[in-house]
Structure 1
Amino acid sequence: MRRYILTRLLKSIFAIFIVVAIVVTMVFTMIPRSNIFAKDTIINKLNGNQLYLYKMSTLSSLGYLSFYTQNEMCSIKSDKYDECKKVGSAESKRVFEEFVKKGYTLKTLDQGGDLDGQTVAFRDYKPYELIARYFGNLFFVDHLYRVNDPKNKNMKRYYSFGGNAGNWGLQCSGCTYKYQVYFNSQFPFIHQNVIALNFGKSYPTFSGVNTMEVIGSPQGKPKPFKQIMPSGKEMVSPILQGTCRYKYTVDELDKQKFNDNYADCMQANEAPSMIVTSYLFGILSLLIAYLIAIPAGIAMSRNKGKFQDKLGILYINLLIAIPSLAFIFLMKYLGFVIGMPDSFPQLGFGNVKSYVMPVVILGLLSTPGIMMWLRRYMIDQSNSDYVKFARAKGLSNREIFKNHILKNAIIPFVNGIPSSIILAISGSVITETVFAIPGMGKMLPDAITSANNTMVITLTFIFTSLSIFSVFLGDILMTLVDPRISLDSKKGE
């Protein structure tokens, strides 16, 4: 088993790498770059050289290309910085030649403005460079020398134990995050900022925010609470001190709350994050689906050809035949008739009624498949030789179904349970859109529409990883349900 698990994990990681590498290559090379700026409102305020520099800097920050202004080229390659900055100087030409040898294309700014005559250099990344850069930056590891602040060259770098505002743990001076590991009363009670996945920054929607923060940050209005700030003042604030990062420029308001530069903090909000919202709806609807479909599927198989079976088949055919969108709107109307809200924001997260119709709809839409396959598995098992033998021994139908047929029929069904639970996180595009639920379901189509390519890659990575590992867990679960199943290959096989 250990060998199988190790081999399967390695294959899973390789599969994730291949899928994400293909998506990275397609996104960065095949999608027109003009689409990226289609929904960026900032470009409407710029013109001339400033517009060109903004676009090139944005493409550079998103990982499309390497881009340098003349001042940046001079600071990197020249010991005569002031001379190099002069337009047409011999030193600037020497520096430009070095960049050209490395494959850079030079462009002289001539679109109007104070920067006319300045030279910039850019080079598109090749596909293998795009992949290498993406995976090379995938893991963020915090350490003592992460912060390099020219305004704070003499900052002390050290680790210490301390705490505030209900947090206690390992603190750092010189790291990006002040709290490296901390403990508080919020599940899972132990938190860390040392290692994290870095998928890049979202753009143009949620511009400049890490994609995982967009997905995982709480939503809604700020939720302030009484706490003692690092400055020693007791305040009512939504700031979560365990999330505070180094801020290179602090203002007077920051100085009232903090006694150092660790003033860039997340805040507590009233509503859960997108990922938690989708998962909550997904799990509740899955629970409803199983509570309805499993007993119904068993009843259909035990009464094959009878009224219960015919009624179940009619139900399955109706739900399969009716388009999902039509069913959702029909249920939404029926819910409105009995007093349920027709959109989630009407009553919000704090009211149970907000969840009823979306959860019921998602649950019912999942029942036909579960009922159909469970019925099929159980009927197939009913025709097996061991069932005939059990009947010959005088066992009742109830005993045969309970102790033999159900036990064997449930094995392939169990294989899909981890996938159903884990992939509930992905949400439902149509249902979340119809009820205006702020979840993950519509994030991928929205990201594609707005050309938020970093978010597209992030979601692809998440969904691919969850899908692959859920299948792996399904195989493991089957061996727990039926010890006769072995995942280890034997000699001669």
Structure 2
Amino acid sequence: MRRYIIKRIILAFATIFVVMTATFFLMHAIPGTPFSGNNDSMSAETLAVLMEKYGMDKPLYKQYLTYVWNILHGDFGVSMSNGYRSVTEIILTAFPVSADLGIRALIFGTIAGIILGIEAALHRNKPIDHISTITAIIGISIPSFVLGTILQTILGLGLSGWVKATFHTDYQLFPIARWQSFRYTIIPSFVLGMGTVASLARLMRTSMLDVINQDYIRTAKAKGISRQQIIWKHEVRNAMMPVITVLGRMIGGVVTGSYIIESQFAIPGLGKYLVNSITARDYTMTMGLTVFYSIFIVFSMLLVDLLYSVIDPRVRLAK
């Protein structure tokens, strides 16, 4: 077990290093500079001073070595498109908001998706199975911004209008934008979590149906084990393995935030900084966020791998 963990940690750091290196050279392959991209009137002298100040006039290999050295010391540099604020400061400020949204969406999506998949498998070809199929189709086929717009219109504007006309109050049960209290988190968390619900419901249903038809389930029934014990100790537990594999990838994608959802609901998360930094050719911001995302995702996958032996004792990581 210890040997396996050490090997995976080494592989995780190697993966992060490859991502870090690829991002550095890809960003520097983009024509232009962070200073002249949106300011055509900048003089050559001013540009030269800025390039020298931030070390961008040095050979590329020296910039790379400086970049790696700073990363190893936890210094992501300063953002050239956000008032020259520290990238680390921006991450510490914005990531908690993205993580809050992502965790809420992940909890909702995981619980709803697994329960829906289990019920669909246990009641195959019955109404709950059809509901699960329809939910999966909606969650996969409808873009998140379209679903968000629909809920903003119905729950935000429509319901608020009805409440105002009926009770003569401006209270909004489901606000359509901003990120302040629990009420503001309901719609965006639901919209972001619907993709997880759809994916897990389909996967859990398929995995459960495969487990239900196994010989050891028939043996358990023949031994007289109660239906509830068979479902939770044998069927659900064994069906969870493929779900955990997919969930590892979802954790990184959902918790790090969604630019579309954050923009649509005016949520001050981290997603907008990454997209804006790419369009602005903000090298330090793009590379810093990419490294941060890769660290989060890689170690999320490592955690999921370690959970295999907890869920299924037959998996022996040491071997």
Q: TM-score range by the shorter chain?
A: 0.7 to 0.9
> 1:338: which partner in 2?
159
- Distance, in Å, in 1 between the alignment partners of 2:201 and 2:53 is 50
2:45 to 25, 40, 53: 53
Contact 2:35–2:47 under 8 Å retained in 1 = no
TM-score (norm 1): 0.58
The structural deviation recorded for 1:427 is: 0.7
The structural deviation recorded for 1:444 is: 1.4
2:236 is equivalent to residue 406 of structure 1: yes
Larger CA deviation: 384-393 vs 472-481 = 384-393
1:391 to 203, 206, 221: 221
The structural deviation recorded for 1:423 is: 4.7
TM-score (norm 2): 0.88
Mapping of residues 292-307 of structure 1, within 5 Å: 292-307=112-127
The structural deviation recorded for 1:418 is: 5.1
2:148 is equivalent to residue 328 of structure 1: yes
Larger CA deviation: 459-468 vs 322-331 = 322-331
Larger helix percent = 2
Contact 1:416–1:474 under 8 Å retained in 2 = no
The structural deviation recorded for 1:435 is: 1.0
Q: Report the number of matched residues.
A: 305
- Distance, in Å, in 2 between the alignment partners of 1:214 and 1:399 is 49
The structural deviation recorded for 1:392 is: 2.8
> 1:24: which partner in 2?
24
Q: Percent identity at matched positions? A: 27
- Distance, in Å, in 2 between the alignment partners of 1:315 and 1:416 is 18
Contact 2:117–2:200 under 8 Å retained in 1 = yes
The structural deviation recorded for 1:57 is: 2.6
Contact 2:196–2:250 under 8 Å retained in 1 = no
- Distance, in Å, in 1 between the alignment partners of 2:259 and 2:33 is 27
> 2:56: which partner in 1?
64
> 2:209: which partner in 1?
379
> 1:213: which partner in 2?
89
Q: Which amino acid aligns with 2:36?
A: F
Contact 1:25–1:130 under 8 Å retained in 2 = no
The structure having more radius of gyration, on CA atoms, is: 1
Q: Which amino acid aligns with 1:60?
A: E
Q: Which amino acid aligns with 1:206?
A: N
Higher relative contact order (CA 8 A, sep 6+): 2
> 1:198: which partner in 2?
75
What SS class does the counterpart of residue 97 from structure 2 fall into?
A: helix
Larger strand percent = 1
Q: Residue deviations 1:232-282, cap 9 Å, x none?
A: xxxxxxxxxxxxxxxxxxxxxxxxxxxxxxxxxxxxxxxxx2111111111
Q: Residue deviations 1:43-100, cap 9 Å, x none?
A: 74x6xxxx3232123223444323xxxxxxxxxxxxxxxxxxxxxxxxxxxxxxxxxx
2:14 is equivalent to residue 137 of structure 1: no
The structural deviation recorded for 1:420 is: 4.2
Q: Residue deviations 1:319-345, cap 9 Å, x none?
A: 32223322121111112212232221x
> 2:281: which partner in 1?
451
2:298 is equivalent to residue 477 of structure 1: no
Residue segments in structure 1 that go unaligned for 5+ positions in a row: 67-124, 141-196, 217-272
Contact 1:297–1:371 under 8 Å retained in 2 = yes
Contact 1:275–1:425 under 8 Å retained in 2 = no
- Distance, in Å, in 1 between the alignment partners of 2:146 and 2:245 is 31
The structural deviation recorded for 1:401 is: 1.3
Q: CA RMSD in A?
A: 2.1
The structural deviation recorded for 1:389 is: 1.8
The structural deviation recorded for 1:289 is: 1.5
Contact 2:34–2:283 under 8 Å retained in 1 = no
1:286 to 95, 98, 106: 106
